[in-house]
Amino acid sequence: MTERPRTPELDEDFLTPWEEEAGASSRLGLLLFLASLAVLFGASIIGYLFIRLQSPLAPPPGHLLLPGGLWVSTLLLLATGWAIHMAERRARRRVGGSLRGWLGLSLGVGLAFVAVQMPCLAELLRVHQVALAQQGGAIYGLAFALVVVHALHVLGGMVALGALTFSTWGRGPAALSRRRMRGCALYWHFLEVVWIALFGVFQITA
């Protein structure tokens, strides 16, 4: 059997110098974007810790009530990251059926994460309003804001993930840019790390 020739326009192993430079620039741009997000979330977590531990109006230790659904959303986010990791592996091998399946699974689990987060956010907002009425400080409002900011970045990642999924169903796995797939996977893993740090801080200070 003769090996089927590879199609340059569909394989990133045959990039022109201009395409290689564009790929390097996009990777640098993504890394700078993630670095800026790391600074944003890091500063926000430090601010939350300062207010949680120093404010006389903050609830005493053991009295910060968080929605139980946040545990479920944590598991769903980790499952989404795992599915995207598996999809990225399939993308490197150009395995069409498996790639579509893993991308579809990651998109579905990501939607479930957002669906679970919505009532949790509503509960945080409700408790925040009650705490303010009782002069209990704004710690729940800060938790609400941090979860919202993270959820908005998840929604942005789902837009990119949906575009990747659509490209594989519309034109086949060869139409999927492995560079875009790697970027999407890196972004989602970053969101996983941020959420674990954020949720861990919530639990430790609760």
Tell me yes or no: is domain 16-58+66-205 CATH 1.20.120.80: yes
How does pLDDT run across 149-198, given as a tens digit for each residue? Answer: 999 999 988 988 888 888 776 555 554 567 788 888 899 999 999 999 99
Question: What is the rounded CA–CA span in Å between residue 105 and residue 27?
Answer: 26
DSSP 7: -
Q: How much is the pLDDT for 170?
A: 59
Q: Show me where the domains of the chain are located.
A: 16-58+66-205
Cα–Cα–Cα angle for 100, 33, 144, nearest 5°? 85
Question: What is the rounded CA–CA span in Å between residue 77 and residue 69?
Answer: 12
Confirm if 146 and 48 have CB atoms less than 8 A apart: yes
What is the number of helices (H) and of strands (E) in the chain? 5, 0
Closest alpha carbon to 188 in 40, 3, 37:
37
The pTM of this model reads 0.79
SS3 129: helix
Ramachandran assignment for 64, one of left (phi > 0), alpha (psi -120 to 50 degrees), beta (any other)? beta
Can you list the alpha helix ranges (DSSP code H) found in 55-138? Answer: 69-93, 96-133
Q: Which residues of 5-23 are buried (b: 16+ CB within 10 A; e: fewer)?
A: eeeeeeeeeeeeeeeeeeb
How does pLDDT run across 98-146, given as a tens digit for each residue? Answer: 777 888 899 999 999 999 999 998 988 888 887 777 765 677 888 888 9
